[in-house]
Structure 1
C-alpha cells in the first residue's frame, strides 16, 4: 500500500499508511517483548484480548454503522491492545524495580 501510493505521488496517503504501519508494529513489538522476557501469561493475555475480546465484539458493534465502519475494527483493536500491552509492561517493570 505504501509503495503504490508513493509511486502514484500521493504523499499524504503514503504518510497515513506509514503511521498505521507504525501502530501495528508497536503492538507486535509489545507482544514480542513479553515473549522474549518469558512473560508468557501477559503475552497470551494480549493475544486473546486482541483476537477474542476486541476484534469480534468491535466488528459486531461497528457493523451497525456500515461496512466502512467495520474496517475501523482492525486499527481500533491494535490501538487498544497496544496500549494495554504498554500498561502491562510499565506496571510490571515498576513493580520489579522496587526493592
Structure 2
C-alpha cells in the first residue's frame, strides 16, 4: 500500500519505474526536454517504416473524426473522452 492507501501501488509503481523511467528515458525523467523529446524521437524512428495507409498519427484533441475514419467505423455520439488531466490523476489512480 502506498502513501495514498492504494493497495499494490508500490509494486506497480516499481514496475512502471523500471520500464518507463529506466528503459524509455534512461533515468532522465527530471529533464523536461528529455521527457518531451522521447515520444517525438520514437515517432520519428517508427514512421518511415510503416505504410501510410496503416498509420494514424492521432492526438485526442483531434476528436473522434480521424480515428473513426481510419478504422472505418461510425463516430460515437459521445464526446471524445479527455482523461489523464493533471487534476484528475489521483482520482483515476484510486481504487474502486
Q: Whose radius of gyration is greater, 1 or 2?
A: 2
Higher relative CO (CA 8 A, sep ≥ 6), structure 1 or 2?
Answer: 1
Question: Where is the helix percentage greater, Structure 1 or Structure 2?
Answer: 1
Length-normalised TM-score, structure 2: 0.29
